[in-house]
Amino acid sequence: MPGLERMPSAITTVVVKTCTRIGVVASLVYLVAGLLLLVLGQVHVHMYLMLFGVLMLFPHAVAVAYVASGAVRVSSFVVKLCLACMALSAPAYVLAVFMGLWLSVETAVLAVVGVTAVSSLTAFLASNRVDGGSVGLSLLLVSASYALAGGAALAWLSLGKPGGLVLLALVLTIAYPVTLIYAVTVHSLPATYRDKPSKLVALALPLLNALAAALLLRMEFRAGLAVTALGTLVYPYAARIYRVPRYLSQAMDRLKPGTAARLAQEYFLKGHYFAAASSILVAVYTALYAMGYCSLFCVLHTYTLGFITVHVLIHAPMMLPVILGTGHRRAYRLVPLALALVAAALWPMQSTIALLAYAAALYGAARIVA
């Protein structure tokens, strides 16, 4: 019956939209709470919320929508069912993060393992059902990012929680949001301008992050950070970021000056200059760590305040209004991306000024989106 055939797709669409919205809103609440708690001196709770409530939750909520859009033409009932389970894991994870505040960090870690198992399987099945190309490659890398996160979380527990919450945060950050950024950008940037990513280099990126995570968990910090920094430097080649000037020229020639489409394309493309700068900043602070001039905590914040935030801000104006069902001011400005880089660069030396710059970056981004 045609009606019954359409039901899984219709139900999955509703579940994905609802759960994605819940996940994004909850992660933004956790972000604000985490920053306020830092100001109040609650550093441990701040770290917990930023790791599990923001760095793991926000990308997951967005990834649900991303996998759903990539698999939109997939008719497999199994994929639709897995996608619904992946979506439902977002609100379940929101609750697990909250419960972990009262129970233990292990509660949130085990929740990460469960969420990543379902999500990795879903993205992998979807990648095998699409018609190859950069979409299939991107979904395969999404699957790898979840597999890395789940494996890293389990390894941290089984090894007796080495390095405490700081090392866990660094390992999970490299394993999941950083790898997920690779997965999205290797498709979204070149495909928008009818180009192709470097498939072999793109496939090497999660392998580099897996090696980095393993080295870090073995407390071989210099080697682990060097490997993942290499990944951030190679990634612009895989995602064709070095071709942005050509893409920009094509877009400006095609679109009328002053139109919303032209402003959006200009923001998106020029934003990748900041993405490349954030990759270099990671390499710089990795080198400074190797020379003994900064700590693991500094390198972690270079990723979170710089590399990850810049990539989120690049996509936020086009992504969040759709997910949240809100209006869009289309007031595209690159200042928030510059402020995020300033915050990442200053954090090791002037954490207070860095926090103010980061808050200004978030406010500026909110002014673009809402």
Can you give the chain as a three-state secondary structure string? CHHHHHHHHHHHHHHHHHHHHHHHHHHHHHHHHHHHHHHCCCHHHHHHHHHHHHHCHHHHHHHHHHHHHHCCCCCCHHHHHHHHHHHHHHHHHHHHHHHHHHCCHHHHHHHHHHHHHHHHHHHHHHHHHCCCHHHHHHHHHHHHHHHHHHHHHHHHHHCCCCCHHHHHHHHHHHHHHHHHHHHHHHHHHHHHCCCCCCHHHHHHHHHHHHHHHHHHHCCCHHHHHHHHHHHHHHHHHHCCHHHHHHHHHHHHHHCCCCCHHHHHHHHHHHHHHHHHHHHHHHHHHHHHHHCCCCCHHHHHHHHHHHHHHHHHHHHHHHHHHHHHCCCCCCCCCCHHHHHHHHHHHHCCCCHHHHHHHHHHHHHHHHHHHC
Both 184 and 293 in one domain: the answer is no
What number is the average pLDDT over the span 307-329? 86
Instruction: Judge if 254 and 305 occupy the same domain.
Output: yes
Domain match, 210 and 351 both? no
Average pLDDT, the chain: 89
Query: Is 2's pLDDT higher than 70?
Result: no
Instruction: Note whether 206 and 342 are same-domain residues.
Output: no
| Residue pair 332/339 in contact by the 8 Å Cβ criterion | no
Do residue 176 and residue 46 come from a single domain?
A: yes
Mean pLDDT across 272-278: 95
Q: What is the mean pLDDT of residues 19-39?
A: 93
Instruction: Tell me the two tokens of residue 159.
Output: 């090894």
Choose between 73 and 198: higher pLDDT.
198
Per-residue pLDDT for 187 more than 60? yes
For residue 306, being part of any structural domain is answered with: yes
| Single residue among 221, 255, 270 that ends a domain in this structure | 221
* pLDDT of 87 higher than 60: yes
- Asked whether the predicted pLDDT for residue 295 surpasses 70, the reply is yes
On the question of pLDDT at 3 being above 60, the answer is: no
Quick one: pLDDT band at residue 7, thresholds 50, 70, 90? Answer: very low
Give phi and psi for 352, each to the nearest 5.
-65, -45
- Examine residue 119 and state whether it is found in any structural domain, yes or no: yes
pLDDT score of 6 more than 60: no
Structure-token pair, residue 42: 């609650």
What b/e sequence results for 289-320 when a residue is b if at least 16 CB atoms lie within 10 Å of its CB, and e otherwise?
Answer: beeeebebbbbbbbbbbbbbbbbbbbbbbebb
Q: Are residues 195 and 80 in the same domain?
A: yes
Domain-embedded: residue 229: no
Closest CA to 268 of 367, 185, 358, 366: 185
> How far is 274 from 339, CA to CA, in rounded Å?
10
In a domain, 226, yes or no: no
Residue 302: pLDDT band (50, 70, 90) is very high
Is 106 within 8 Å of 125 (Cβ atoms)?
no
Q: Extract the tokens encoding 244.
A: 């942005």
pLDDT of residue 358: 95
Q: Domain for residue 228, yes or no?
A: no
The pLDDT assigned to 4 comes to 32
Using an 8 Å Cβ cutoff, are 369 and 316 in contact? yes
Range of the domain at 27: 1-221
Domain boundary among 189, 221, 253: 221
Q: Do 27 and 136 lie in a common domain?
A: yes
Measure the CA–CA gap between 243 and 236, rounded to whole angstroms. 9
Same domain, 13 and 161: yes
Reported as a pLDDT band with limits 50, 70 and 90, residue 370 is low
Q: Is residue 234 included in any domain, yes or no?
A: no
The pLDDT-based confidence of 1 (bands split at 50, 70, 90) is very low
Q: What percent of the chain has pLDDT over 70?
A: 96
Same domain, 139 and 217: yes
* Tens-digit pLDDT profile for residues 140-167: 999 999 999 999 999 999 998 988 899 9
Tokens of 297: 């905590």
Task: Give the tokens for residue 181.
Answer: 């950024």
pLDDT at 269: 94
- Shared-domain flag, residues 122 and 217: yes
State the pLDDT at residue 301: 93
| Residue 64 placed within a domain | yes
In the chain, the number of structural domains is: 2
Q: Is the pLDDT of residue 5 over 60?
A: no
pLDDT at residue 326 greater than cutoff 90: no
Residue 10: predicted pLDDT: 74
Residue of 5, 133, 16 lying closest to 76 (CA atoms): 5
Q: Mark whether 248 and 203 lie in a shared domain.
A: no
Predicted confidence (pLDDT) at residue 59 exceeds the cutoff of 80: yes
Whether 51 and 91 map to the same domain: the answer is yes
In a domain, 227, yes or no: no
Q: Which residues contact 134 (CB under 8 A, 6 or more apart)?
A: 186, 187, 190, 191, 196, 197
pLDDT at 327 over 80: no
